[in-house]
Amino acid sequence: MKLTLNIWRQADQASKGAMQKYDLDGVSEDMSFLEMLDLLNENLNEQGEDPVAFDSDCREGICGTCSLMINGQAHGPEVTTTCQLHMRSFSDGDTITVEPWRADPFPVLKDLVVDRSAFDRIIQAGGYISVNTGSAPEANNLPVEKAKADRAFDVATCIGCGACVAACPNGSASLFLGAKITHLGELPQGQPERDTRVVSMVAQHDHEGFGGCTNIGECTAACPKEIPLDVISQLNKDLRTAIRHGH
């Protein structure tokens, strides 16, 4: 395939940045989207030009680092991560626009790389359980209802990619936050800190500059792990309960 790429280039956080056009030949439909960008960078290296900076790590849909806005859609046209998106989703002669996540709490560091450490700070504010370490407990001491275990497992698949924020017109991280709150709130181990967790994490979310949820639903449509919108209802319910308890 022969493609035309419009790619956001930005030297560093302080620079302005602009779209730049590249022609790329020899793209196979079996390549992943990131392998296509690797090919572009090989060409740029050979020409002595600065390669396009982008994030990736596992390239297996697990780590959440490969976060690109492709033709205006977070992670592109399929419900998957950018690394699991394949070039067979595109056609010979296509023009593809590639941009970084656009949200104030995710500043662009270079080209397509954004700083998503705001998510880490939200987790540090309460996305954990406190336990005394020691020998492994007996697994059957703490039974977990099957429906709750399944629900916790399903929402624990959130990989923290930030597509929900990038897709949301409000720049809200409510889907990410709701996934974490629901995951820990369904399990018995998550109960002692349930109230303080939701209050601290919501405060950090707002402090980072993420917007509020107005039930638009773009987040869940963009989410590569199909985290459902009702985790945001759970988030709001837990927050109301914590406030009623005096937090």
Residues that bind ligand SF4 (CB under 6 A): 158-164, 175-176, 179, 222-225, 227
Residue 37 vs 184, nearer CB to ligand FES: 37
x-marked contacts with ligand FES along 125-164 as a string, rule CB under 6 A: ----------------------------------------
HSE-up of residue 18 (Cα within 13 Å, Cβ side): 2
Which amino acid appears at position 1 of this protein?
A: M
Query: Would you give the binding string for ligand FES spanning residues 168-207, x where CB under 6 A is met?
Result: ----------------------------------------
Stretch that binds ligand FES, among 57-65, 92-100, 112-120, 175-183 (CB under 6 A): 57-65
Residue 164 touches which of ligand FES, ligand SF4, none (CB < 5 to 8 A by kind)?
ligand SF4
Q: How far is the C-alpha of 106 from the C-alpha of 193, rounded, in Å?
A: 28
Contacts of 238-243 with C-beta under 8 Å, sequence gap 24+, read: 238/181, 238/185, 238/194, 238/195, 238/198, 239/198, 239/199, 239/202, 241/195, 242/194, 242/195, 242/196, 242/198, 242/199, 243/199
| Eight-class DSSP state of 51 | P
Closest CA to 245 of 208, 205, 197, 203: 197
CB of 206 to ligand FES, least distance (A): 27
* One character per residue 78-107, x = contact with ligand FES (rule: CB under 6 A): ---xxx------------------------
Pair of tokens at residue 141: 């001491």
Question: What are the residues binding ligand FES (CB under 6 A)?
Answer: 56-59, 61-66, 81-83
